Amino acid sequence: MSYTNGLDNPELYFQTKLYTGNGSTQSITFDGSENMQPDWVWIKCRSDADSSSICDSIRGANKHLRSDGNNAETESGTVQLSSFDSNGFSLGSGDGQTNGSSRTYTSWNWLASNSTASNSNGSITSTVSANTTSGFSIVSYTGTGSNATIGHGLNSTPKFIIVKRTDTASAWEVFHSSISNMKNSYIELNSTNAVASASTIWGGTDPTSTTFHVGTDGSTNGSSGNYIAYCFAEKKGYSKFESYTGNGSTDGVFCFTGMKTSFVMIKRTDSSNEWLMFDNKRSDINVVNELLRANNSAAELTTDDYLDFTAQGFKIRRSAPDCNASGGSYIYMAFAENPFVTSTGVPATARWLCSYLLT
């Protein structure tokens, strides 16, 4: 099994970076073997309770959203993120969300196209920064209040979409293709709630290779509302957007992703539970136990063993409702450190569990 879609090195498209705040200004440089100028930066404080900070290159580095609330976009001048740089980003003067003195942070960073284009594929003209190789686009649009289609620029059907209204308080709406009848349902990133039914969020229609659909609800398409969407199409060996059913055991479910996993976000869909976020920088060996939550401002939790990252996916190691209730339904989004086997036949190496090599 090999991958020939240009994704042999995922660090060109996604990187996690840990850093310590200095309470002043500083530039954060990525650790990867390749330079990457991010278009989407998601920062969360690890050491202290504080809201996340989400910025993208379409709205501008100084405009911030928080995933743990329904708040409208805030503009911070240069207090938080001040610029997207050629291999990282720069921070402003000491805001606790992004650069508090001696606080520790994780940042998750994605490349789109480092540019924007107008897209008229849908009934609403959108502004798009799209990377068709990695299957990621950032899309901004203005709502109409009527069922509509919006061009996403990926040339393949997205399996995972996050939409946020930016000009007023509104929930973060998530589309995940593994949820049954998702076109008539919704689940919210800023909430612990299970999947609920409503055709007005996605207009009762699934996305296509050119557009995604929105209904009449103000959270995705209010008249004259301003919106940002983050769209992901699945790419073999780089990204996976799937589901699993829990078995209630510490010898938990193995999720095959076809890649050495570097980042996973998990959400239970049939019951109320949090959005769990893990990465290979905070947990550099197995078992992975450094937990942050997208819907919660709490500091990092390190008391429980959650999962293993393997050369082919990840394995659940916790028998708890948030990730592995017996018969529980879960969705996830995952990104690669390496494909399982590159296009030149190089296999991914396994991760260490203390002094034992996982196979």
pLDDT in tens, 260-301: 999 999 999 999 999 999 999 998 888 999 999 999 999 999
- Residue 347 is predicted with a pLDDT of 43
Q: How confident is the model at residue 77 (pLDDT cuts 50, 70, 90)?
A: low
Q: List phi, psi (to 5°) of 245.
A: -110, 130
- Residue 95 is predicted with a pLDDT of 80
Determine if the pTM surpasses 0.75. Answer: yes
**pLDDT tens profile 167-214:** 999 999 999 999 999 999 999 999 999 999 999 999 999 999 999 999
**pLDDT tens profile 304-315:** 899 999 989 999
Residue 58 clears pLDDT 80, i.e. is over it = yes
Report the sign of the C-alpha dihedral through residues 25, 31, 34, 38, in that order.
negative
CA distance 182 to 187: 9
Per the prediction, the chain carries an average pLDDT of 92
124's tokens: 């609403």
How is residue 181 annotated by DSSP? Answer: T
Q: How confident is the model at residue 6 (pLDDT cuts 50, 70, 90)?
A: low
**pLDDT tens profile 19-49:** 999 999 999 999 988 899 999 999 999 999 9
146's tokens: 């009527």
- Residue 284 is predicted with a pLDDT of 81
Q: Which residue has the tokens 């409503």?
A: 198
Three-class SS state of 109: strand
Residue 91 clears pLDDT 60, i.e. is over it = yes
At CB < 8 A and 24+ separation, what contacts does 119-123 make? 119/151, 119/152, 119/153, 120/151, 121/149, 121/151, 121/153, 121/210, 121/211, 122/148, 122/149, 122/150, 122/151, 122/210, 122/211, 123/148, 123/149, 123/150
